[in-house]
Every structure is written in C-alpha cells, then in structure tokens.
Structure 1
C-alpha cells in the first residue's frame, strides 16, 4: 500500500510515499536467518549466517584474500576478519600468508569445511522450497526480477554517492 503525505516547507510542497517493502525485506531476512540456522543445526552443521556466506564463496573459489571475500559477500573487511577468526578457531578455514604478497592472508577451506558442502546445499535447497511455498514459477520469476532491480538501484546509488 502506498500512502501519500504532503508537507509544505517554505512554500515548497514535498510529497512522501510510504511503502513497506524495505520493512518486509528486513523482516524476511531476519526470519530467514533464524530458520536457516535452525535447519543447519538440525542437520549437524554448527555455523552462523556470516560463516555460511563466507563458506559459500570459498566453495565456489577456494584460497581467497580477505579483500576478495569482502567484495564477493558485501561484508566489511573488519567483519570478515572477525568471522574468519571464529572459523579458524572451529577448524573450518585456515589462514596462511600469501607467498606472493606477505602482507596479505589467504583464507582456505579445511577438509572439514569441504565435508559440510553437500549437507549445507541440501539445507539451502530446503530453505528455497520453504521461501517460495505457495508461489507459481511465474510469480517466483517476477519477484526475483523486482528484487534484482531494487538491488541494482541500490548498488548504483552506493557508487554514485
């Protein structure tokens, strides 16, 4: 629902459009995170959402720097560093000095992390089924197109301001 608000400031009329899309996206993200973590635990996978995002990236391309992980996950470098520390302590990833640039650390998957991939992908698929329950394929396609447009707009805005 769109609600129009009018406010007159020094003779200039400003119209505010109030929508709830951002609110819904935030709530969906919070609930999705909680449900996903519960499903992971039920399947014997003890990792947080942030750790999962990093694992997902490393499963696609192992041996990345903190900067590369940050770029691919859209998480801040300091956040990545904190999450990586926890993952190192749990034996999920290893951190080694880059032989070509001693100032950089390379993050690599352990055998334990590699063993989690199949279960993690199964849980992820369960989450996708739950997420789109009650939607037709056409509704799913349209919904994802709208989200992609919102994302593109936000990315463009981030880079122009």
Structure 2
C-alpha cells in the first residue's frame, strides 16, 4: 500500500517482488504462443530483432550462455529458416546473425499473442490507473535503460 512518502528502498522492495511475477507470466504466455520454439530460442529471435547483424558472441553474452550453447541454438534456428548467417564484409571470419522474414513473422505472432494476454490482465484498469502504470514503466525504463544495446 502506498504511504505519503515513498523511499527508494520501498520502491526497490516492490520492484524486486513484482518484476519476477510479471516475467513468469510473460514467459508462460510466450511458451504457449508457439510450442515449437523454446523460451531461449524466442529470446534469441527477440534479441536479433532489436540488434540485427549481431555476432554469436553478442548474443551469447546477452543471454549469458556459452558460445558453444549459443552456437547449437543458432544452428537449430538456421535449420528452421528463422535466422540467417551472413559473412561480415569487414572481417571474413566473423559471422553476423539476422532474422529471416519467417523468423520475424513467427516472433511477431508470439509477441502479439503475449501482448493480447497482458492487455486482458489490464482490461479492468481505469484510464487513470493505466496512465499511472505507463508513467511508472517509463520511469523504470529511464532508470534501467541499457546503454550498450
């Protein structure tokens, strides 16, 4: 419950409590969206959407897995026609990764279904509550904005 004066520590307690619940919900919805893709594969597709022509190292570091693990994941996505490897014109030994149109389409379908489920959760919020929520999310984004992506 909100009190007259909030401290950063009180906000931190709420963020650490609520964010994992939201993430669990999002993950469960994304898994339901396309049972043929693992959550890790969806995270790779989402990363490549935001960072086209990323290297294997970029993706493995972002997802905090080994290069060998990421290489196997990428290989499966390439075989399914969702990701393509492109030789870096500047550095022949470096391979760049990008979504294919099929990969983009599958990712968009999963994200749209997930967004619809989130919207249903928010359906009973008033306009004022939705404004407050958006303002809070904007503030969180500002506080945690990733500068390297």
TM class by shorter chain equals 0.5 to 0.7
Asked if the contact 2:52/2:99 (under 8 Å) is kept, the reply is yes
Displacement after TM superposition at 1:76 (Å): 4.5
Partner of 1:27: 21
Displacement after TM superposition at 1:26 (Å): 1.1
Residues paired across the two proteins, number? 139
Alignment of 1:5-154 (within 5 A): 17=10, 19-41=13-35, 46-59=36-49, 62-66=52-56, 75-76=62-63, 78=65, 82-83=69-70, 85-90=72-77, 91=80, 92-154=82-144
TM-score w.r.t. length of structure 2: 0.64
More strand by share: 1
The 1-side partners of 2:111 and 2:143 are apart by: 29
Whose Rg is larger? 1
Encode CA deviations 1:85-130: one digit per residue, 9 max, x unaligned.
3142142212333121234321022354244245334313323323
The 2-side partners of 1:57 and 1:146 are apart by: 24
C-alpha spacing 1:105/1:126, structure 2 compared with 1 (3 Å): same
Higher relative contact order (CA 8 A, sep 6+): 2
The 1-side partners of 2:141 and 2:105 are apart by: 32
- Tell me, which stretches of 5 or more residues in structure 1 are unaligned? 4-15
TM-score w.r.t. length of structure 1: 0.60
C-alpha spacing 1:143/1:82, structure 2 compared with 1 (3 Å): farther
> What's the Cα RMSD here?
3.8
Partner of 1:12: none
C-alpha spacing 1:108/1:128, structure 2 compared with 1 (3 Å): same
- Tell me, which stretches of 5 or more residues in structure 2 are unaligned? 4-8
Displacement after TM superposition at 1:19 (Å): 3.5
Displacement after TM superposition at 1:57 (Å): 4.6
